[in-house]
């Protein structure tokens, strides 16, 4: 079996990873073995011109540092101030700087340069996410001929958003150097097809095969999952009593997200406020625990969302709190995964309300963590990729506070019988399409196209 080489922006070297990609890829590599290459997280004056190796995992790990300028241009700039907002339908937040695009090209080329000396001829290379769209083109330029696949963890933009890029044609040229493009949801595959047709030379030759910028590419939908069995086990044995003192008999509604403007946190706070205004009977009977560690705080839009959410939580608590009850508990720290699993299990409602999201693993973790005999209710945004398969959740439009508050009330009232029936269907899907299924299905498809 040839070696799997995964490349992602970030190589996790510490504990408690709190990004979906890292959590999923770690699970995948632990079972298949191979090599994972990514950014160390260190910004230095003069980055070394070889990879640094990190022993101690069940797979090989090698990292590279970035110069401050590269971090600024490639990571904060083009990746997170152009691609991320565009892929999440926020063209208004895009900040275009020619130096950032230059930096993105430069870093993709440098990663290829660092990687090539360590590659074996029959390696399968699996590139992750939007930071590295340009990597296959750079590897091919350096003579790499083996299979190279890409998986996009976030939504693929439609033609209107793609047209707001400074370099739409280049995006599709980058993509055309991959053998297989993997997307989270059918929505993304159809956005890709439509955008490619409108913006560059592209044709669908047969099911899932495209002629793109003069090359042949395959594309497919591979919804990412979690390590469901392990997460269920973690939740079953999670420490709970000490963490739960704040509930004082109330039911808990839980949200867990990186603090990001795509996650719809202000929208859910406003819906909760509306719920408390309209149904005073729920006062002191429901506590909303929102766990949201800040990320990318060097980007202005992320400082803004932090300020907005803190302000809103303070205002709502000021409006409703009593001596014995604080309606919103807002925590900014990463939480160890076993504690997180225990918190989900205690949550009568799991609240997942992004305005746009590739998949959303929290929805799956919440379902896996429930007590099957007395499970909680998942409220899920129609704009999460997860909504394509998790249709037994209460599916809502996060922009509509009335609909969202109505779903919260419905979840609080829902009979145990209905909760069990919905949960059993959701859990079956989460277990069947777990992270192992995701990586196997993707890697089999990559191998199928390269005669391997
Ligand atoms: P993210 O945007 O990071 O991932 P998500 O899929 O919800 O979103 O994953 C977040 C992960 O981080 C979950 O595993 C969660 O448990 C963990 N996490 C969040 N807050 C935490 C905290 N305070 N402490 C500990 N852990 C925390 C991107 C895309 C998603 C896609 C994933 C995977 O944006 O749409 O589902 O990649 O492909």
pLDDT for res 16: 55
Q: Which of 360, 369, 380, 438 to mutate to test the pocket of ligand 1 (most atoms within 8 A of CB)?
A: 360
Buried b (16+ CB within 10 A) or exposed e, 358-371: bbbbbbbbbbbbbe
**Catalytic site residue 391?**
no
What is the domain-level CATH number for residue 107?
Answer: 3.40.50.2000
Q: How far is CA 251 from CA 26, 146, 293, 379, 393, in A?
A: 33, 54, 23, 15, 19
Residue 153 is among the residues annotated as catalytic for this protein: yes
- Catalytic choice (70, 123, 260, 357): 357
Q: Euclidean distance between the first and final Cα of the chain, in Å?
A: 9
Q: Is 227 in the pocket of ligand 1 (CB under 6 A)?
A: no
Statement to judge: residues 386 and 269 lie in one domain: yes
Tokens at 69, concatenated: 């300028």
Evaluate if residue 308 carries a pLDDT over 50: yes
Same domain, 216 and 246: no
Asked whether residue 175 falls in the same domain as residue 294, the answer is no
- pTM given for the model: 0.96
User: Do 262 and 403 fall within a single domain?
Assistant: yes
Measure 365 CA to ligand 1 centroid, in angstroms: 10
User: Does one domain contain both 420 and 439?
Assistant: no
Query: Domain check: are 254 and 386 in the same one?
Result: yes
Residue nearest to atom 9 of ligand 1 (CA): 20
- Both 209 and 233 in a single domain? no
Asked whether residue 151 carries a pLDDT value surpassing 90, the answer given is yes
Residue 156: pLDDT band with limits 50, 70, 90:
very high
Phi, psi of 292 (to 5 degrees): -150, 90
Q: In this structure, are 387 and 412 located in the same domain?
A: yes
In tens, the pLDDT along 74-131 reads 999 999 999 999 999 999 999 999 999 999 999 999 999 999 999 999 999 999 999 9
Q: Return the ligand 1 atom nearest residue 293 CA.
A: 23
Q: What is the mean pLDDT of the chain?
A: 94
Binding site membership of 263 for ligand 1 (Cβ less than 6 Å): no
Regarding the beta carbon of 256 and ligand 1, being less than 6 Å apart is answered yes
DSSP string, 131-166: GGTTHHHHHHHTT--S-EEEE--SPPP-HHHHTTSS
How high is the pLDDT of residue 450? Answer: 63
Q: Over 80: is that where the pLDDT of 12 sits?
A: yes
Average pLDDT over residues 287-306: 91
Of all protein residues, the one whose alpha carbon is nearest to atom 10 of ligand 1 is 20
CA–centroid distance, residue 18 to ligand 1 (Å):
6
Rounded Cα distance between 1 and 128, Å, is 21
Range name among 19-28, 187-196, 215-224, 352-361 with the lowest pLDDT average: 19-28
Work out the pLDDT band at 57, boundaries 50, 70, 90.
confident
The answer to whether residues 127 and 261 belong to one domain is no
Higher pLDDT, 178 or 207: 178
Residues 256, 114 share a domain: no
For residue 357, the ligand 1 atom closest to its alpha carbon is 35
Q: Is 188 in the pocket of ligand 1 (CB under 6 A)?
A: no
Looking at residue 451, its pLDDT comes to: 47
The residue range of the domain holding 378 is: 228-432
* Same domain, residue pair 220 and 241: no
Task: Give yes or no: residues 377 and 269 share one domain.
Answer: yes
pLDDT at 240: 63
The domain total for the chain is: 2
Tokens at 165, concatenated: 């890029």
């Amino acid at each position: 079996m040839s070696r799997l080489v995964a490349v992602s922006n970030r190589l996790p070297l510490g504990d408690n990873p709190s990004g979906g990609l890292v959590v999923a890829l770690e699970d995948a590599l632990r079972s298949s073995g191979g090599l994972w290459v990514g950014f160390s997280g260190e910004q230095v004056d003069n980055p070394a011109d070889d990879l640094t190796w990190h022993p101690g995992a069940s797979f090989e790990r090698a990292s590279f540092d970035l110069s401050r300028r590269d971090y600024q241009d490639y990571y904060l700039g083009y990746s997170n101030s152009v691609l991320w907002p565009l892929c999440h339908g926020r063209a208004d937040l895009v900040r275009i700087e020619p130096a950032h695009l230059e930096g993105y090209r430069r870093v993709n080329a440098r990663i290829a340069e660092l990687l090539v000396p360590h590659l074996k001829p029959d390696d399968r290379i699996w590139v992750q996410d939007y930071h590295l769209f340009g990597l296959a083109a750079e590897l091919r330029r350096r003579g790499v001929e083996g299979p190279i696949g890409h998986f996009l963890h976030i939504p693929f933009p439609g033609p209107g958003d793609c047209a707001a890029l400074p370099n739409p044609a280049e995006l599709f040229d980058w993509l055309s150097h991959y053998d297989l493009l993997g997307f989270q949801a059918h929505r993304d595959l159809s956005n890709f097809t439509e955008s490619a047709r409108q913006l560059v030379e592209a044709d669908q030759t047969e099911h899932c095969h495209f002629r793109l910028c003069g090359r042949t590419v395959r594309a497919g939908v591979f919804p990412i999952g979690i390590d469901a069995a392990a997460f269920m086990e973690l939740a079953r044995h999670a420490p709970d009593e000490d963490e739960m003192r704040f509930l004082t008999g109330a039911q808990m509604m839980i949200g867990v997200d990186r603090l990001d403007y795509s996650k719809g946190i202000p929208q859910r706070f406003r819906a909760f406020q509306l719920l408390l205004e309209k149904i005073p009977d729920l006062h002191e009977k429901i506590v909303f625990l929102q766990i949201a560690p800040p990320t990318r705080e060097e980007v202005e839009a992320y400082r803004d969302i932090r300020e907005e959410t803190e302000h809103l939580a303070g205002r709502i608590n000021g409006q409703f709190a009593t001596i014995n009850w604080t309606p919103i508990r807002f925590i900014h720290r990463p939480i160890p995964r076993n504690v997180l699993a225990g918190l989900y299990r205690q949550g009568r409602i799991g609240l997942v309300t992004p305005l746009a999201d590739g998949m959303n693993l929290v929805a799956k973790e919440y379902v896996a963590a429930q007590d099957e005999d007395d499970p909680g209710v998942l409220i899920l945004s129609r704009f999460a990729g997860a909504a394509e398969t998790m249709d037994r959740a209460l599916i809502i439009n996060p922009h509509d506070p009335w609909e969202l508050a109505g779903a919260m009330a419905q979840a609080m009232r829902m009979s145990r019988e209905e909760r069990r029936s919905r949960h059993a269907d959701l859990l079956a899907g989460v277990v069947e399409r777990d992270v192992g299924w995701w990586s196997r299905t993707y890697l089999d498809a990559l191998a199928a196209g390269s005669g391997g």
